[in-house]
Structure 1
Amino acid sequence: MAVNELDFIVVGAGSAGSVLARRLIDAGKTVAVLEAGGEDTNPVIADVFAAGALWHGPEDWDYFTTEQASCGGRRLHLPRGKVTGGSHALNATIWVRGAKQDYDTWAYLGCPGWNWEDVLPVFKAIENYDGGASDTRGGSGLLDVVQDFPRNPVQDDILEAAQEVGVKLNEDYNSGDVEGVSKMQLNVRNGKRFNTWHAYLKPVVGHENLTLITNAHVRRLLIEDGTVTGVEYEKDGQLHTLTAGETVLAAGAINSPEVLLRSGIGPAEELREVGIEPLLDLPGVGKNLHDHLLSPVIFTTTKKEVPPSQVAAAETHHFWKSNPDLAVPDTQPIHFSIPMYFLDDMTGPENGFSLIGGIVRPLSRGEITLSGPNPEDPINIDLGALTAEEDVRALVASVRQCREMGRTAALAEWGPEEVYPGPEYSDSDEDLERYVRETAVTYHHQVGTCKMGLDELAVVDPRSLKVRGLDGIRIADASIMPLVPTGNTNAPSVLIGEKAAEFITGIPAGTSA
């Protein structure tokens, strides 16, 4: 289609971008989707169990943080999807909406229209849940959410182990109440990965109103008189421009702020320091970066081997309050049917299972900044990981609980033997603090770098997702979350794609397909 016919450019074919582009096509708009990666032809993508094999490969942006002083000076690997499907092509497909209180807090902080009662109908419209439609769940959406799949037998015993240490059973953690131990709900179809690219965008790839450009790395926005008119992107070593009535960044919590910063939109003084003339002083761009963190508790088995999983490596999890006075759980241990040796220097038996301690309500904050004015100058990603003492305390409590689960009668028939942390670490606060600082890794849930809200660091208007002070540009991805939800961030990112489509088209989610 001719360039001047485009109504919208969507940057990124990930969880939110695929949803938004499909809804715009449904509404009769002409759309170009620019994806920095290629199409998802790698057969490993379909196999959720093997997702880790995609790390450091062509489908991974392969980011690393700056040295994290509170994590022993380590640089943490941040896998991010560079392929159609985005990070939903690399993740564990765990479908977690979060807690009711997450969205009510968003609204309380100045994001009208984002409380639980507002987002619940949208979540229901998204879901094709195999548990059936109900007051809280949707049964006829485009995206499969599956709980009834064959689980590894060790997962059933882990489910019992959590209850043995006092964690209640929660039959549906997506009801608004996350607390307890649960069978995971996954985005799979016939046991294989089924993401928003598969559910929303791929079925309309041949549509006359859609132009999909892969291997197109957006370098900057085109801006005239305070209005974004399109983008400049690189493909096959050549620079190209594309214009449209409106551009939507759906490139994720790392790349969306990067595009803004490289376009001169962000903290003015910081931009000048790296040789970029600021066009719009927007102090919040790249700030408020935060992420969930994990620390592994790994067991080998001495009585019988853990069989291979048919669907996923992680198939149960639990949400637990490290402090009973908390309103919402702050930890989310993930249970794997394999030993998860996250770090390069971790080794051990190939047979086993892992109970991975995790925090999901972090107080630590970091930022994304540029290192120079040129496209090839790398970005600096500073998570500020474990700089808040409360995060350390919660992660220590989670690791301690996971160790306790490994010692339960429910798992005794496997003969668990702890590999990590191992006997050199006691259960003392001091030993476990040392361990979590040495081993903490990302849970792949970076958010917040272009947050919506009313305060001085707010980048987008929560009622439209338009960038403040600039016309012709919106943002629709995890970067707009003011606070990370209690749980995996993929489902909230899909929600954001649907909400962005509602703002643009005026058509409520679930009525335009």
Structure 2
Amino acid sequence: MSQRIIVIGAGSAGSIVSRRLVDAGHQVTVLEAGGPVTNPAIQDISRAGELWHSEQDWDYYTVPQANAAGRRLHLPRGKVLGGSHALNAMIYVRCAAQDFDGWAAAGNPGWSWQEVLPTYLKIENFDGGPSEVRSTGGPLDVLGDYPLQPIQQSIIDAAVQTGLAHNPDYNSGQLDGISQVQLTVRDGERLSSYRAYLEPVAGAENLEILTNAQAVRLLIDDGVVLGVEYVIDGEEVQQLYADQVFLCAGALDSPALLLRSGIGPAEELSELGIEVVHDLPGVGKNLHDHFLVPVIFGTSKRRVEPPKAGQTPAQTHLFWRSQPDLEVPDTQPINFSVPMYQDELSGPETGFSLMAGLIGTQSRGSLRLSGPSIDDEVLIDLAALADPADLRALLASVRQCREIGRAAALAEEWGAAEIHPGPEVADQDLEDYVRANVVTYHHQVGSCKMGIDQLAVVDPQLRVHGIAGLRIADASIMPQVTSGNTNAPVMLIAEKAVEFFLTEH
């Protein structure tokens, strides 16, 4: 039987959820807080950096991070049709099979690697052709065969010279090694899940897409979600009723909406004067992220040409285990054909950056409200580098990036010379540099985690514990962050959410 469904958010997850529900014959209304795609920098994959602090960026910041030199870290999040998939680096990483087996082993049936692989195959249209573990024919183009910029090929060569393996397809079951990045790109332009899934059915009779429509709170009666209160263009408050609500607002906005709706830790809500609808202690807890630290080089023998239109500045990355006994890689440096200066860093206009990356994050933070209104600041604490294991792994990744930069393919062929941290900073003195320059990898997860324990917010079918008619499908449900970029797993989560719903109904 057809149901009326509200989907909150038209980002990576919401676009997929909406499309699949429309295809199944349900009446779907999408609420997107941002506007339509009008900024040309969104489609030009060489211009992603221009989108930070733009009208399409929520422009969030953390609270001061005690273990990151007291700095407030910028958290760019998409406020536009396509969500953060309209702002990100378009990197497609399925992540490790062990990630999903770990979720299943923690009491989440349906999420093992063998159970999620068919869903991944349903998503992708891989230009490398079909195989037992790769697929063509899905809505999302995944591009792995494109010309590398000369500096990016030399980065691969240099990494191999240091002893790393060259991995031609990190999405075929083994992450380890240096690889060309696989991108969600079509005809040289960004292909967000909105463009791939939702835009093609935008004219469907059973679909309504409302932009500049920000959800304020859920309408709940006796433990059942009845609809959503939202504001149009920041002014007019309206209410919309439905049989089901899918919350796809992301790891920051989904828990914030629950908290404003009275769903969360009762004591925290009461302190803010928010009526407690359902005491759910885990809302906003378990927040964590991946982190990067720039290792920046200039060149004296050859000039690194900045990316042209249709070229992404990040074309290669590597997966590596900072300790050999680890089950999966815990570091993922990503390599840019531009110098990634930030804060107090500066230097030549051209160069390249090997961004040391932590993906096996152990630190856990939280998200809280400062007040009951959508205009009150959300207090985001990633607890960056709070766990000493995270600092150790990130330091190891920085040292590896420095070593790659000294390899012959870069030092001799390009005249590569380290600018930051700089040759004057000895390996044993890197800790201060890492704390002063660590930034987010833009992969916040976990704040409405899936599970059956006390801090779980959703069950294994992504239904919110104790609240009927409400599912969450986005990065917030991850119990533990995946071993790589989170965009592909978020799309997987969206597809699984609809699979669960359609099986149930």
TM-score, normalised with respect to structure 1: 0.96
Matched-pair contact (CA < 8 Å) for 1:265–1:278: yes
Kindly indicate whether residue 194 of structure 2 is the aligned counterpart of residue 216 of structure 1: no
d(CA) in 2 for partners of 1:134 and 1:6?
37
Q: 1:184 aligns with which of 181, 205, 214?
A: 181
Q: 1:155 aligns with which of 141, 152, 157?
A: 152
d(CA) in 1 for partners of 2:147 and 2:36?
29
Matched-pair contact (CA < 8 Å) for 1:151–1:309: no
Does the residue aligned with 1:338 lie in a helix, a strand or coil?
coil
The residue number in structure 1 matching 2:93 is 96
* 1:447-498 deviation digits (Å, cap 9, x = unpaired): 0000101110010011x21100011110000000101000000000000110
The residue number in structure 2 matching 1:423 is 423
The residue number in structure 2 matching 1:391 is 390
Kindly indicate whether residue 442 of structure 2 is the aligned counterpart of residue 460 of structure 1: no
d(CA) in 2 for partners of 1:60 and 1:374?
20
Matched-pair contact (CA < 8 Å) for 1:48–1:192: yes
Matched-pair contact (CA < 8 Å) for 1:6–1:32: no
TM-superposed deviation, 1:27: 0.4
Kindly indicate whether residue 362 of structure 2 is the aligned counterpart of residue 346 of structure 1: no
Kindly indicate whether residue 195 of structure 2 is the aligned counterpart of residue 206 of structure 1: no
* 1:412-438 deviation digits (Å, cap 9, x = unpaired): 21111111111341111xx11111101
d(CA) in 2 for partners of 1:175 and 1:16?
23
The residue number in structure 2 matching 1:510 is none
Code of the aligned partner of 2:377 = P
Does the residue aligned with 1:92 lie in a helix, a strand or coil?
coil
Code of the aligned partner of 1:435 = Y
Q: 1:47 aligns with which of 40, 44, 48?
A: 44
TM-superposed deviation, 1:46: 0.7
Name which of structure 1's ranges 166-175 and 12-21 shifts more when overlaid on structure 2.
166-175
Matched-pair contact (CA < 8 Å) for 1:282–1:459: yes
Matched-pair contact (CA < 8 Å) for 1:173–1:182: yes
* 1:53-105 deviation digits (Å, cap 9, x = unpaired): 11011000000000000001000000000000000000000000101110110
Kindly indicate whether residue 106 of structure 2 is the aligned counterpart of residue 109 of structure 1: yes
d(CA) in 1 for partners of 2:236 and 2:419?
50
The residue number in structure 1 matching 2:118 is 121
TM-superposed deviation, 1:344: 2.7
Does the residue aligned with 1:308 lie in a helix, a strand or coil?
coil
Does the residue aligned with 1:49 lie in a helix, a strand or coil?
coil
The residue number in structure 2 matching 1:511 is none
d(CA) in 1 for partners of 2:95 and 2:418?
31
- Counting aligned pairs with the same residue, the percent is 60
d(CA) in 2 for partners of 1:388 and 1:345?
25
Code of the aligned partner of 1:168 = A
The residue number in structure 1 matching 2:315 is 315
TM-superposed deviation, 1:169: 1.3
Kindly indicate whether residue 471 of structure 2 is the aligned counterpart of residue 474 of structure 1: yes
Matched-pair contact (CA < 8 Å) for 1:219–1:234: yes
Code of the aligned partner of 1:337 = S
TM-superposed deviation, 1:210: 0.3
Q: 1:288 aligns with which of 286, 296, 307?
A: 286
TM-superposed deviation, 1:6: 6.2
Code of the aligned partner of 1:426 = A
Matched-pair contact (CA < 8 Å) for 2:399–2:427: yes
Q: 1:242 aligns with which of 240, 243, 255?
A: 240
Does the residue aligned with 1:97 lie in a helix, a strand or coil?
coil
Matched-pair contact (CA < 8 Å) for 1:149–1:191: no
TM-superposed deviation, 1:374: 2.4
TM-superposed deviation, 1:41: 1.2
The residue number in structure 1 matching 2:16 is 19
Code of the aligned partner of 1:295 = V
Matched-pair contact (CA < 8 Å) for 1:62–1:77: yes
Does the residue aligned with 2:425 lie in a helix, a strand or coil?
coil
Does the residue aligned with 2:466 lie in a helix, a strand or coil?
coil
Name which of structure 1's ranges 441-450 and 168-177 shifts more when overlaid on structure 2.
168-177
d(CA) in 2 for partners of 1:46 and 1:301?
30
d(CA) in 2 for partners of 1:377 and 1:215?
18
Kindly indicate whether residue 44 of structure 2 is the aligned counterpart of residue 60 of structure 1: no
Matched-pair contact (CA < 8 Å) for 2:22–2:206: yes
Code of the aligned partner of 2:238 = H
CA RMSD in angstroms, aligned pairs only: 1.1
Matched-pair contact (CA < 8 Å) for 1:369–1:379: yes
Q: 1:502 aligns with which of 486, 499, 502?
A: 499
d(CA) in 1 for partners of 2:18 and 2:280?
27
Does the residue aligned with 2:212 lie in a helix, a strand or coil?
coil
The residue number in structure 2 matching 1:355 is 354
Name which of structure 1's ranges 487-496 and 186-195 shifts more when overlaid on structure 2.
186-195
Code of the aligned partner of 1:300 = G
TM-superposed deviation, 1:205: 0.6
1:428-443 alignment, distance < 5 Å? 428=428, 431-443=429-441
TM-superposed deviation, 1:190: 1.5
TM-superposed deviation, 1:309: 2.6
Please list every run of at least 4 consecutive aligned residues from structure 1 whose deviation after the TM superposition is greater than 6 angstroms. none
Matched-pair contact (CA < 8 Å) for 1:20–1:501: yes
Kindly indicate whether residue 182 of structure 2 is the aligned counterpart of residue 174 of structure 1: no
Code of the aligned partner of 2:388 = E
The residue number in structure 1 matching 2:401 is 402
Does the residue aligned with 2:41 lie in a helix, a strand or coil?
helix
The residue number in structure 1 matching 2:372 is 373
Q: 2:275 aligns with which of 267, 277, 283?
A: 277
Kindly indicate whether residue 191 of structure 2 is the aligned counterpart of residue 197 of structure 1: no
Code of the aligned partner of 1:357 = A
Matched-pair contact (CA < 8 Å) for 1:6–1:243: no
TM-superposed deviation, 1:308: 2.8
Does the residue aligned with 1:356 lie in a helix, a strand or coil?
strand
Code of the aligned partner of 1:364 = S
The residue number in structure 1 matching 2:257 is 259
Matched-pair contact (CA < 8 Å) for 1:314–1:336: yes
* 1:371-409 deviation digits (Å, cap 9, x = unpaired): 112222111000000000000000000001101111101
Distance 1:308 1:375, change over 3 A: closer
The residue number in structure 1 matching 2:142 is 145
Code of the aligned partner of 1:259 = L
Give the number of aligned pairs.
499
TM-superposed deviation, 1:141: 0.3
Name which of structure 1's ranges 150-159 and 419-428 shifts more when overlaid on structure 2.
419-428
d(CA) in 2 for partners of 1:19 and 1:329?
29
TM-superposed deviation, 1:44: 0.3
Q: Which runs of 5+ in 1 are unaligned?
A: 508-513
TM-score, normalised with respect to structure 2: 0.98
Does the residue aligned with 2:157 lie in a helix, a strand or coil?
helix
Kindly indicate whether residue 28 of structure 2 is the aligned counterpart of residue 31 of structure 1: yes
Name which of structure 1's ranges 166-175 and 435-444 shifts more when overlaid on structure 2.
166-175
